[in-house]
Structure 1
């Protein structure tokens, strides 16, 4: 019998241009308590964007059941980057490093990149779910753009 090794790592990335400054985008992005008013993917949130702190976030994936997770903030540079690490049940099983990168554009706007790197034993078996996450990221990006630009 021949076994085929599948990668235990997957990455997805989405991006959008927003006609608002990185500081304006940042203010909405880190207002976790305000997520129910605009965020179609992470509809509930609590915590502070402070390195080392834990957030409490509740995701509502498209075509899936709600999931509550408590990621640890790894980076929080105002107007530049927000990164957290979350685990499913135990570290190493299914871990996700999520990142929002904000880059100022010459016209005074923001280029937002949202990405996630998935690692762990379950990654080879969750490809369909990971690809669905890309659609959720796109939905979040569009909603953030609409919220900040209005």
Structure 2
């Protein structure tokens, strides 16, 4: 069973400026309402520790593996709940330069595993709301200065 959720927002800033905020993991607790922390070596092939707290839902800490970390373009990881195949997710942040001083920031995740149907309602409400809140805060920060 698989499910994908996706959000995007146009930000009046360059990909470089947005990337600088997105990858300043030490500041996540100060601004990010959805992903409260990312620690560890953010290098392709390495495992990091991430803490997410969707609105009105129980937060979770997990150890995903970094799949892509391409400056100013894409950051992607794959995580799992306890063991692979139960509830896995591939989280993607993508930045697209629109060529006019704006950037489209896309945040999406593909969930798969036997427990996905049990989490469907939470994914469609709390998780997608968390994505949107994070996107909006990122936009506000990037457009502020």
TM range (shorter): over 0.9
Q: Which runs of 4+ in 1 moved over 4 A?
A: none
User: Which among 40, 44, 49 is matched to residue 47 of structure 1?
Assistant: 40
What's the counterpart of residue 4 of structure 1?
Answer: none
RMSD (CA atoms): 1.0
1:36 maps to 2:26? no
Larger Rg: 1
Find the aligned partners of 1:89 and 1:69 in 2 and give their Cα distance: 9
Gapped runs of 5+ residues in structure 2?
none
Aligned CA distance change for structure 1 residues 79 and 142 (closer, same or farther; 3 Å): same
Residue 89 of structure 1: how far off its partner (Å)? 0.6
Question: What whole-Å deviation, never above 9, does each CA across 1:66-116 have from its counterpart, x for those lacking one?
Answer: 211111100011011110001001011000000011000121221011000
What's the counterpart of residue 11 of structure 1?
Answer: 4
Contact 2:5 2:109 in 1 (8 A): yes
The alignment covers a number of residue pairs equal to: 143
What's the counterpart of residue 138 of structure 1?
Answer: 132
* TM value normalised by structure 2: 0.94
1:109 maps to 2:102? yes
